[in-house]
Amino acid sequence: MFATLSPNEWVTLAGLGVAILVVVGVMIYLCLGLFQARSLIRRELAAYFTSPIAYVVFVVFLAVTGSLFAETLNKLTAKGSVGVEHPLQAMFDDNYFWLIFLAIPPLLTMRSFAEERASGTLEMLMTAPLRDWQVVLSKYVACFVLYLLVWLPTLVYLPALLDLSFRPARLEDLTSPRSAVWTWSSLALVIGLVLALVGAVLLLPRLGTRGRLVSLGLVLGGVVLAGAGGWSHYTRDHREAPAAQATGVVGLLATPQGAGPLLVATTEIARPPLHLVEVRAGLDPVQALTFYLGVTLAGAMFLALGLLVSSLVRDQLVAALIALALSLLFVVERFWRVDTDAGGAFDRFVYFFSVPLHFQKSFSVGLIDTRHLVLYVSVAVFCLFLTVRSLESRRWR
Amino acid sequence: MIHVDKLTKFYGDYPAIRDVSFDVPRGRVVGFLGPNGAGKTTTMRILAGFLTATSGTATIDGLDVFWDSLEVRRRIGYMPENCPLYPEMRVTEYLRFRAGIKGIHGREASQRVERVLNRCWLTDVRRQLVGTLSKGYRQRVGLADILLTDPPVLILDEPTAGLDPRQIIETRKLIAELSQKHTLLLSTHILSEVEATCQGIIIIDRGRVAAKGDLAELRSQHKNLEEFFVRLTEREEPAVP
């Protein structure tokens, strides 16, 4: 593959490599900084649960998504000639949902800096031996984790929405060590899951920093191992079944004139290899992955925006309202449609920053449009950068 | 230990402090005295790395507060005015959090928290929410917080403001105890406060150092220090039309 590259392509490749190295280096640096400030992340998360914010957000969000789920379930099971191809689109393409979605990030970020500024604790925080960016990123990570926690319960809707069916392997296949279920990949999957579980349980008691690190390493290592094993286990059909078919075809070609028992024996398509669990989806499951990717990154953008506003003002309510007004820019198309030519210049312009449209046209239907991802990530990074600068501004104002 | 040289800070066009210079030698307790709005808090915030001076330099333990801000912050314990705390946390929880962001974790953090709880007489309120504590106890939590890392320099902004007489006496006792091991700079607008706890004194007025030196020295120069202080701060009072 590398032999056919032209010099220009080599330059591009080298540039990409350098860029990736730089990004990885920066990420490691940031992660080390966050590790230093882990107490702050923990406090910020705990503060959500000692105030009513987290509970209110959870209840409202789950009530709205729950009612949307019930509606969608009706659509999915309706009799007659109605069909739903993209259940997530059907479920989340709704004005009420976007209203709630709009309100959640400002609610999560409003107190982060505004409250500290009002009560004077910001002075205590900023005279601790932490850098400004460590404080900003810790607060950001805390509200981002809470945002992901808010979305976590919605995963239980997926089996119904995607029409998933699970068929575990038979007990005699699981228990006999020589059965086709047990390959290196499925073993890796099971061992990885067990390791991750052990690590997660070990995280609960107080084991000191080193113990925590070891158990965290167990969780991460287990997840990576289970992921790799699971992926290889999952793609077994593609790797092994076509090969079995191919030998059949080769057998057929080898004996063009001599049809007979040989042909029958070789073209018999090998049974697909056994799996630990067979998961079948009635609808394309990739759309769930892209949807949650979109939700994660769009949330990252709105949270960064809210954090920036919170670092600029003193009052929580004002912070929430301004953040709401600013994020409305990205959602307003949903509520207020201008009648323009479809596909006209204005339409295309609006499409660049209208988040509900991004979900409707790409994330909810299983497409990843990198333009949207670039928008979300760059706005988030820019807002975080401005937040650090705005905190710093107290020094020279 | 603390060396301040021609420190100036402008808020917009308004000069909060102008050409403030002083020294606090190692192991001394120095009172930073001045009426409200004289620039005490601004100076202390600059020393603690919360603000940056417009011009001038300040060093603590030979380290510049601007260029080595992080290192300086590790070496000082700074308690802001009114001692802001998170009301929703419990006392031990708060102290463990403060230990964490100062880089002390795990078992060592627990040990140090225990030590400062004992030292600041907080053991009977350890499980209480900070928001439900009285002003005196909150002040002690703030002191416990800055003693966690046992820094060589302590900077206290109005440590006795808003306390009742008994609490003031207790805080003075604690400060006297601390002065054996630490260098202290504490601000107040009450002269008797300085006379009770400090060896050195810096009087600041409208952003300028009006007088500084040994307490005994100043006392011998001015027969009535109280009168001197009042006269100093009232001089050039803008006439109200």
Residues B102, A129: C-beta atoms closer than 8 Å: yes
Average pLDDT over residues A212-229: 91
Share of chain A above pLDDT 70, in %: 90
Residue A164's DSSP bridge partners are A281
CB contact under 8 A, A37 and B102: no
The answer to whether B81 touches B157, Cβ cutoff 8 Å, is: yes
Helix, strand, or coil (residue B66): coil
pLDDT at A360 over 60: yes
What is the amino acid identity at position B47?
L
Give the separation between CA A263 and CA A253, rounded to whole angstroms: 9
Check if the beta carbon of residue B29 is closer than 8 Å to that of residue B75. no
Identify all chain A residues contacting B70, using CB atoms and an 8 Å cutoff: 129, 131
Question: Taking 70 as the threshold, does the pLDDT of residue B234 lie above it?
Answer: no
What digits encode the pLDDT tens for the residues B199-218?
Answer: 888 888 888 888 887 877 77
Reported as a pLDDT band with limits 50, 70 and 90, residue A271 is low
Find out whether B24 and B200 touch, Cβ atoms under 8 Å: yes
SS3 B240: coil
If one compares A362 and A280, the residue with the highest pLDDT of the two is A362
Q: Report helix, strand or coil for B125.
A: helix
Please check whether residue B120 is in contact with residue B148, taking contact to mean a CB–CB distance below 8 angstroms: no
Nearest CA to B100 out of B143, B120, B92, A121 is that of B92
Q: What is the mean pLDDT of residues A81-87?
A: 79
Q: How far is CA B212 from the centre of its chain?
A: 17
Max avg pLDDT among A3-17, A107-121, A279-293: A107-121
Half-sphere exposure of A97 (CA within 13 A, CB side): 19
Q: How far is A392 from chain B (nearest CA, A)?
A: 9
Residues A42 and A140: beta-carbon distance below 8 Å: no
pLDDT value of position A242: 56
Per-residue HEC secondary structure of chain A comes to CHHHCCHHHHHHHHHHHHHHHHHHHHHHHHHHHHHHCHHHHHHHHHHHHHCCHHHHHHHHHHHHHHHHHHHHHHHHHCCCCCCCCCHHHHHHCCHHHHHHHHHHHHHHHHHHHHHHHHHCHHHHHHCCCCCHHHHHHHHHHHHHHHHHHHHHHHHHHHHHHCCEEEEECCHHHHHCCCCCCCCHHHHHHHHHHHHHHHHHHHHCCCCHHHHHHHHHHHHHHHHHHHHHHHHHHHCHHHHHHHHHHHHHHHHHHHCCCCCCHHHHHHHCCCCCCCCCEEEEECCCCHHHHHHHHHHHHHHHHHHHHHHHHHHHCCCHHHHHHHHHHHHHHHHHHHHCCCCCCCCCHHHHHHHHHCHHHHHHHCHHHCCCCHHHHHHHHHHHHHHHHHHHHHHHHHHCC
Select the residue from B101, B107, B145 to test the A interface by mutation, using most A Cβ atoms within 10 A. Answer: B101
What is the interface pTM, i.e. ipTM, of the complex?
A: 0.89
pLDDT confidence of B240, banded at 50, 70, 90?
A: very low
Q: What is the pLDDT of residue A56?
A: 93
Residues B167, B136 contacting (CB under 8 angstroms): yes
Extract the tokens encoding B232.
Answer: 């100093």
Measured in angstroms, the CA of A41 and the nearest CA of chain B are apart by: 10
Kindly indicate the confidence band of residue A272, based on its pLDDT and cuts at 50, 70 and 90.
low
Average pLDDT, chain B: 86
Are B208 and B20 in contact by the 8 Å Cβ rule? The answer is yes
Which of B78, B86, B104, B156 is most worth mutating to test chain A (most A CB atoms within 10 A of its CB)? B86
pLDDT digits (tens, 9 = 90+) for A139-171: 999 999 999 999 999 999 998 888 888 888 888
Residue A348: CA atoms inside 13 Å, Cβ hemisphere, count? 3
- What separation in angstroms does the CA of B228 have from each of A151, A192, B220, B224? 67, 77, 12, 6
Res B197: pLDDT: 81
Q: What is the mean pLDDT of residues B166-171?
A: 84
**Residue A366: CB atoms within 10 Å:** 18
In chain B, residues with a C-beta closer than 8 Å to the C-beta of A51 are: 88
Measure the CA–CA gap between B17 and B19, rounded to whole angstroms: 7
Contacts of B100 in chain A (CB under 8 A): 38-40, 42
Give CA separation, B34 vs A102, A315, B29, B203, in Å: 50, 31, 16, 6
CA distance A360 to A17: 34
CB-CB: which of A51, A125, A128 is closest to B88? A51
- Calculate the average pLDDT of chain A: 85
Contact A58, A152 (CB under 8 A): no
Contact B98 A51 (CB under 8 A): no
Q: Is the pLDDT of residue A32 over 90?
A: yes
**A130 contacts B101? CB cut-off 8 A:** yes
- Would you state the pLDDT for residue A249? 43
Partner residue facing A36 (CB), from B48, B103, B106: B103
As given in the structure block, the two tokens for residue B200 are 């050195």
Taking contacts as CB-CB distances below 8 angstroms, the residues of chain B near A39 are 96-97, 99-101, 105
Query: Chain B partners of A46 at a C-beta cutoff of 8 Å?
Result: 89
The answer to whether B67 contacts chain A (CB < 8 Å) is no
**Residues A225 and A233: beta-carbon distance below 8 Å:** no
Q: What is the DSSP letter of B123?
A: G
Amino acid at B207: G
User: What SS3 state is found at B106?
Assistant: helix
Query: Which residue did the predictor score with more confidence, A276 or A238?
Result: A276
Binding-site residues on chain A for chain B (CB distance < 8 A): 36-40, 42-43, 46-47, 50-51, 119-121, 123-131, 208-209, 394-397
The pLDDT confidence band at residue A275, using thresholds 50, 70 and 90, is confident
Which residues in B lie closer than 8 A to residue A50 (C-beta atoms)? 88-89
Q: Which residues of A touch B102 (CB under 8 A)?
A: 128-129
Contacts of A125 in chain B (CB under 8 A): 101
| Residue A241 burial (CB count, 10 A) | 15
Using one digit for the tens of pLDDT, what is the confidence trace for A302-326? 999 999 999 999 999 999 999 999 9
Which residue, among A122, A114, A66, has the nearest Cα to A94 in the 3D structure?
Answer: A66
Q: Report pLDDT for A243.
A: 52
Strand B55-60 with B153-157, pairing = unpaired
CA distance A116 to chain B (A): 9
